[in-house]
Amino acid sequence: MRRIIVGATLLLAVMTVLLVVQSTLAGSSGGSEQVVFATANGPTDFNYVTPTPPRPDAHFGFWIWCEGPAASNGYVGDCNGSMYFYVFGITRPVKGTVSGSGGVFTMNVWSTDSATTPTIACSLTNGTAFTGNGSERQTISVDCPGDTGKNPTVTGVGTAHEAVVNIIGQ
């Protein structure tokens, strides 16, 4: 009888430890919310304010990953990626921040090529609330104003149709 009591106590202790570990791991997986915007094969158009393009070409692109505003880690709100404007042959790494909730997010990013006059300083916003798991195709509005306090080289507004929006952990 003593073996049964000791065995049952040991089994109960092991089950308790496993339950605590499992609940801890499940809780930590929700600590990372990730937001990704990327152009794919969909059409893009950009209306330049400055500089004047040497020829008509409204194609531009981006791939930006952010640790979402609901993340519970040291990288909350941080963004990194790249943006490119084909007509000028400009491709730059960008960094920045993200804000939003309910599946609609705005990324504010700038290129890291110059502390005083970056080539790029833009905000990107997905047009509709993200509703699924995995990736969705959405329209992303891009605004690169000249009045950001960063004095970027490229200014104007654009739209990326059928861009990839991926939000994980929301």
pLDDT of residue 146: 77
- Give 138's strand partners: 163
Report the range of poorest mean pLDDT among 33-47, 78-92, 99-113, 124-138: 124-138
Domains of the chain, by residue range, sit at 1-30, 34-168
Residues with Cβ within 8 Å of 17's Cβ and at least 6 positions away in sequence, in order, are: none
> Of 32-36, 100-104, 113-117, 153-157, where does the model show the most confidence?
153-157
pLDDT of residue 68: 86
Burial (CB count <10 Å: 0-12, 13-18, 19+), residue 146: middle
Picking from 145, 146, 144, 147, the residue whose alpha carbon sits closest to that of residue 160 is 144
Mean pLDDT value across residues 1-12: 38
77 phi, psi to nearest 5 deg: 80, -5
Please answer whether residues 42 and 58 qualify as being in contact, where contact means their C-beta atoms are separated by less than 8 angstroms: no
d(CA 115, CA 103): 32
Mean pLDDT value across residues 49-56: 91
**What is the DSSP code string of 138-165?**
EEEEEEE-S-SSS--S-EEEEEEEEEEE
Cα-based angle 57, 60, 64 (whole degrees, multiple of 5)? 175
Please answer whether residues 126 and 104 qualify as being in contact, where contact means their C-beta atoms are separated by less than 8 angstroms: yes
What predicted TM-score, i.e. pTM, was given to this entire model? 0.77
- Tokens 């040291």: give the residue: 74
pLDDT of residue 23: 32
Picking from 143, 88, 86, 84, the residue whose alpha carbon sits closest to that of residue 111 is 84
Please answer whether residues 139 and 157 qualify as being in contact, where contact means their C-beta atoms are separated by less than 8 angstroms: no
d(CA 44, CA 98): 22
